[in-house]
Amino acid sequence: MLIVGAGPAGLVLGNLLQAAGIETLVVERADREQVQTRARAGFLGPHSAKVLAENGLGTGMLHKGRSHGVCAFRGESGEFELDYARLGQGEVHTVYPQQDLVTDLIAEYLNRGGELRFGVTVTDVDARTATIGYRDANGTGRATGRFLAGCDGSNGVTRLAMPEAVTRHRQDHGVAWLAVLAEAPQSMAAVTYAIHDDGFAGHMARSPDVTRYYLQVSPDDDSEAWTDERIWAALDIRMRTAEFGPLRQGRIIERRIVHLRSEVVDPIQHDRLFLVGDAASLISPSAAKGANLAIMEAELLARALVDALTRDDHSALDAYSRTCLPRIWRAQEFSRWMIELLHGPADATADGDFQRALRHARLDSLRDSHTHQNFFAEHYVGI
């Protein structure tokens, strides 16, 4: 089995197949250090945590991950908390930095006898024969498997190998975030979403000593224009620290612009090629669904491949797209709902005032309606 990409999607898939006695080869363009230090989302839903724990992939998560079941919203009408662990299905997130999870998955994959090659650039993909051409430090070569999994992201070569007849849904939400990592302890006990006329701001703890912040910025903004001082000043205003208390500041160790976009490929399989994770569907970070979709798809594909390769039963493999896509679209719908909840219009026109009033009405309903809160809780943690 060939797997292109050593992110959560490819590594979970590789680990599950290795455990089932199916030999796999994972190729990754970046080097190992880059893969293990890429700071990405750290919120694992209950299904993701269960998949990892039940398949021997959650040792680090179980020892160092933290349960999180409360989020808060701040706006001009004040602040309210949602204890979503007591709502909906009564489920929580597990906060565990993705770079730590990837490090764990690499170690376990190698321990299970999997082959992993870093610094490999895939140059071409043949879905019919599950063959890739590649270039690495030793020159060029080709590799062939029974099947091929594309886990190399939305800009990877495996998505490009899908035929023209495949439908590619795209939506640019017209919103950008400055994603910031700060060497600072969390300032609030809960994930906090701040709604402000200057733009959205978010606070998400990543570890006891590192906190993720988001600031809504212009889509054509430059991350280098945001100095540490400017970042903290904007966070103070949008997080309303004069009203709710100061932030615990620290050195900014990462700043990058994230454009909120959504993409879905339909179908996500062709001949012997199967797309997983961001290669199948890119989702905005507004609802922390990306890694959880990747793990869900990897689990489903692993089960289908085991059936096909060990029992010659291809029914689940043939149905991979039909099984995954409804879940992908439900996640996309909630992500869009969150975008509309958190972001105001870009101007102060009459229509902008109308949209701003609708946003406040949504927040009021989320604060006051038990039915609305249960909807939020169910979709916030689930897929």
Q: At what angle do helices 8-19 and 290-311 cross, to 10 degrees?
A: 30
Active site residue 289: yes
Give, as one character, the DSSP assignment of residue 285. Answer: G
Lowest-confidence region among 28-32, 205-209, 254-258, 369-373: 205-209
Percent of the chain at pLDDT > 70 equals 98
Per-residue pLDDT at 89: 86
Q: Is the pLDDT of residue 350 over 70?
A: no
Residue 139 exposed, middle or buried by CB count within 10 Å (0-12, 13-18, 19+): exposed
Q: How many CB atoms lie within 10 A of CB 358?
A: 14
Catalytic residue, from 203, 270, 289, 343: name it. Answer: 289
Average pLDDT for residues 329-341, to the nearest whole number?
95
Give, as one character, the DSSP assignment of residue 303. Answer: H
Residue 154 exposed, middle or buried by CB count within 10 Å (0-12, 13-18, 19+): middle
Per-residue pLDDT at 146: 97
Per-residue pLDDT at 364: 94
Active site residue 68: yes
* pLDDT interval class at 39 (50, 70, 90): confident
Catalytic residue, from 96, 109, 134, 193: name it. Answer: 193
CA distance 176 to 258: 6
* pLDDT interval class at 356 (50, 70, 90): confident
Which uninterrupted H or E stretch holds 25? strand 25-27
Active site residue 380: yes
Residue pair 182/250 in contact (Cβ under 8 Å)? The answer is yes
Token pair listed for 129: 């024969």
- With 0.85 as the threshold, say if the pTM is over it: yes
CA distance 297 to 264: 14
Residues 6+ apart with CB under 8 A from 256: 178, 179, 223
Q: Over the stretch 175-230, which tens digit does the pLDDT of each residue have?
A: 999 999 999 999 998 999 999 999 999 999 888 899 999 999 999 999 999 999 99
Average pLDDT for residues 117-126, to the nearest whole number?
98
Catalytic residue, from 214, 285, 320, 379: name it. Answer: 285
3-state helix, strand, coil in the chain (%, to 5): 40, 30, 30
Average pLDDT for residues 276-300, to the nearest whole number?
96
Per-residue pLDDT at 345: 62
Catalytic residue, from 8, 68, 203, 270: name it. Answer: 68
Per-residue pLDDT at 88: 85
Q: Over the stretch 55-76, which tens digit does the pLDDT of each residue have?
A: 999 999 999 999 999 999 999 8
Active site residue 96: no
Q: Is the pLDDT of residue 46 over 90?
A: yes
Q: Over the stretch 252-270, which tens digit does the pLDDT of each residue have?
A: 999 999 999 999 999 999 9
Lowest-confidence region among 2-16, 89-103, 233-247: 89-103
Per-residue pLDDT at 287: 87
Hey, what domains does the chain have and what are their CATH numbers?
Answer: 2-67+91-170+261-338 (3.50.50.60)
Average pLDDT for residues 328-348, to the nearest whole number?
86
* pLDDT interval class at 304 (50, 70, 90): very high
Catalytic residue, from 96, 109, 214, 380: name it. Answer: 380
Q: Quote the mean pLDDT of the chain.
A: 95
